[in-house]
Chain A
């Protein structure tokens, strides 16, 4: 820093009041002695500039002030440009002084600009005040179908337990849908699954084709094609020859599960299903396993949960039993394993099948299954 700063600090007072300065120090005396018309001119420039700056109250004025006092055509610039014509001594003192003035003006300019910006910002903030209660500009929102959401949720649960998600054909041979699952022709269990048959012309009688009545058909195929260890879940559409009403549709969804390996037990099945229930229905939902019959398992299990409406006390939803059936399961029948080429003496296996629609119906209180397949946006957008 420079001559003038030194001056200022040693004087302990403001340079803009030069009348008291000169008598006090020898250095000032020197300066005073060199006080030429040019210095005087600089002093005047500075003082009028600062005075003007004080009254400026917007950026525009400030900009014109800057042009006037610091611009290319300003007096100060002219003086700085004329320095070269001065003698070495003069150039030193006037040059130093002029640069000090310039520095000072620039600093003040910057300070003033800051102040004015703050003021401007506050003003513009007031000007641009928005009604934050206006609705946001809409971004398009789509929804996964509630059945898709449910299937994904269930698949995620089983995937986290090491199961893989696989699929199989919906149009299926009688063999995989029935025969391979220990349901031969004329078996009474066929009556509980009214079947839609495919019209395959004259050759149909030999090898009947049907719309699968359960996703268990995929298990029959998996047993035939995969080698243990097997842990799969098989989501998909299934079909029944049934009229539509509030609790029936000719097409609906199931997910079957199958595990095959050495040493799998019914305790493992219970544990797996219990874990599913815990995650899907919540920690506190009571679960009941009772004996039931499905031709492709032995022993057979039906899993029920405590009614979601009455919590077990009995209500219309649960037929006063306090329990709601959720799924069928069991240890895969040795016949079924054998049929698919897996030795039931070596490998054990469990299987389960869950109807999907019931789950979102229970969860959301939906009272008509047909809503799922009606494509009504007023319904679908709710999920």
Chain B
């Protein structure tokens, strides 16, 4: 909210500089996010008085104005049509900084010769001073201003731009802020006196008010003014509205807005003669009920919305926008002025649903107090009589079914100390609360504090404590460290598993990426070599911001592949990326499952290109090696079996099996999928479900003693059918006693091996925990292994 300092100063004397005031307000919860210094740049612009106006010798539309500046006189050329001798004007000397009337840019005034006449200075419009867009007319100042004085003294101001938190609708007003400043500075408050003559017959003879939905309308007040004349509002009011960011419309509308800014209570003016049956009924809308609002648009309402209706139908959407039918226009002569209080949630719902945010809506939905209605109504009525003429009906309409008294709240010094960690005396506490308008009754070390009528945010002791803390200042509260006992220690958690995993992958040369959790069906469908509907369908966002962020990802692959494709545009060589994040798997009538997944992709050169060579490409076995290394580090025993994922190459993929469960996959991307992601190279991918893995990584490791006796190493090269897998052979070798390690060191098929066969070469380590092995012992076992391999796989020793 924007608040002109001069307006604020009408209610409270302020001795602080604007910067200090801004700082005090900010620290106490009302953030001043900006300050606009109007007139700060008005050096060399002073009040002048026109003493003579003569025609320009060379131009019909221009004239020569002689201006008295107190110490001297200047004659300048002007094109303004509204000048009269005797007017007091804003006179800019040469060197003054002004806004160009046409381009809107700042410029510095120079001496100029206009159609042959030298002009040393100029008389200014509002636009040239930067206070409005009016460039047609020269500013004419009130007669009371002193000739020669700086113009900033009269037209200058500082506009505070405040960020009001949602709990303080009372601060959405100049008086509300004045009350804050009172508490912060101790300066007294001087609120406007309101009195006017009520000269025509009582209001209740001219209008009846009925609240049919008291839950949504706790209070409805109104006044009636007849014989008004619709016109422009006075300049000073227009200027204040403009400074606060509101557009002047007409005297009546401007007064309702002005009083809203002043008190924080929205008002609405009806054309009294358009109220049919002279009845106001505050009721819920019927489903589908329509009303044309002030902006000329027909709105369809629902039963959750509140309307102000007359005998025949809705005349306004309560608290949100008036109806076109009862709008105050040029012909209006009688005003029914509404000052009501509406249920905040209902107004919020209506404003949000109809997409009609407004200044009024913003105040109602934050919950202003019903007690604000009367003071605001009275002041507005008075201003209407003063400015638009007319006579007020006797009395006011005031239906108040939802009266809620402010209740006293008990606060003790010990409560304050317990929450803040610092002791304040009862005197200090009471003095703060009193300065904020609380009614305080002291009982020993406690105080019963009743909130002032304008505060709607104070309900319990902690609310009072915040008031005390923020006015005394948060900087007065000491800083201490927690001294309570520590919580129970953490169990082994997914947090640690994730950290270990990330660090391992970074160590293997992978770059971590984080991608959006939201994706599109189009992106997910790229993972399918043959199109088919996704099963299950991923979770959908009901209100997606963009089409590419509509579904919650059921895997990490799609985003990683897109990332690879994007990086390929500027990146040669090997790319190794991983993401560790959640996927979202829908469940019936419940939140989705959100397992933590690891997905890595690798593609391109195995080693960074270097002067020492390295032309190999990353393959399936690099991906598998990364997985094995990671699982080894995590202390997990795993095996691999043929995989069956459609997105991967049918023959180059393996499922990761841990404790009988498939917890991951490794493989080469299906060529059609690569193509769909516009990747023209072989991509390998691995995935592990870390959430499922977690329980398997917990458990104590048991120390294995370092062998006391030497080992014997033997190489064994066999030839078997090409279909026999390494794992089958290895399992057999590992099954023999004394065998402690089996390492495959060569796989060969080609010239020296018969067709359809392959050679596998193993390095087998034999060791006994009890004695030094002899060659004979090892020979025996090796012979047994060979016989077994021969009988199982028809293996032959490779010569």
Contact = CB atoms under 8 A, between A and B. Distances in A.
Given A134-B611, A144-B512, A300-B466, A293 B165 contact: yes
Interface residues of B, number: 99
Nearest to A136: B610
A375 B513 contact: yes
Given A229-B487, A299-B465, A373-B515, A348 B576 contact: no
A281 interface: no
B114 interface: no
A267 B420 contact: yes
Interface stretch (A36-44, A96-104, A118-126, A184-192): A184-192
A376 interface: yes
Contacts of A186: 344-346, 348-349, 352, 365
Given A169-B591, A331-B419, A334-B460, A266 B577 contact: no
Interface stretch (A26-34, A79-87, A198-206): A198-206
A165 B498 CA distance: 12
A377 B479 contact: no
Contacts of B517: 170, 237, 239, 251
Contacts of A192: 166
Interface in B459-506: 460, 462-463, 465-466, 469-470, 474-475, 477-487, 490, 493-495, 499, 502-503, 505-506
A169 B545 contact: no
Contact of A189 (B166, B463, B479, B566): B166
Contacts of A290: 26-29, 31, 474
Contacts of A375: 513-515, 559, 562-563, 566-567, 577
Contacts of B670: none
B236 interface: no
A198 B166 contact: no
Given A142-B505, A142-B509, A172-B591, A198 B466 contact: no
B780 interface: no
A197 B543 contact: yes
A145 B490 contact: no
Interface stretch (B152-160, B534-542, B727-735): B534-542
Interface stretch (A7-15, A67-75, A107-115, A255-263): A255-263
A242 B541 CA distance: 13
Contacts of A321: 33
A185 B514 contact: no
A300 B483 CA distance: 22
Interface in A228-271: 229-232, 237, 239, 241-243, 249-251, 259, 261-268, 270-271
A77 interface: no
A165 B470 CA distance: 31
B487 A135 contact: no
Contacts of A141: 509
B359 interface: no
A259 B482 CA distance: 9
B54 interface: no
B610 A135 contact: yes
B48 to A, nearest CB: 34
Interface in B404-460: 418-422, 460
A148 B421 contact: no
B604 to A, nearest CB: 12
Contacts of B516: 249-251, 373
Of the candidates A185, A288, A291, A298, the one having the most CB atoms from chain B within 10 angstroms of its own CB is A291
B277 interface: no
17 contacts: A139-B509, A140-B509, A140-B574, A142-B506, A142-B576, A143-B506, A170-B582, A171-B584, A261-B484, A263-B484, A265-B420, A265-B421, A290-B28, A290-B474, A334-B462, A373-B515, A375-B513
Closest 7 A/B residue pairs (Cβ)? A140-B509, A267-B421, A265-B421, A291-B29, A293-B165, A186-B345, A299-B466
Interface of A: 134-135, 137-145, 147-148, 152, 161-162, 164-167, 169-173, 184-189, 191-192, 196-199, 203-204, 209, 211, 229-232, 237, 239, 241-243, 249-251, 259, 261-268, 270-272, 274-275, 288-293, 295, 298-301, 319, 321, 331, 333-334, 348, 372-378, 380-381
Given A143-B512, A197-B543, A250-B518, 7 more contacts: A173-B591, A187-B345, A187-B348, A198-B539, A299-B470, A299-B474, A376-B566
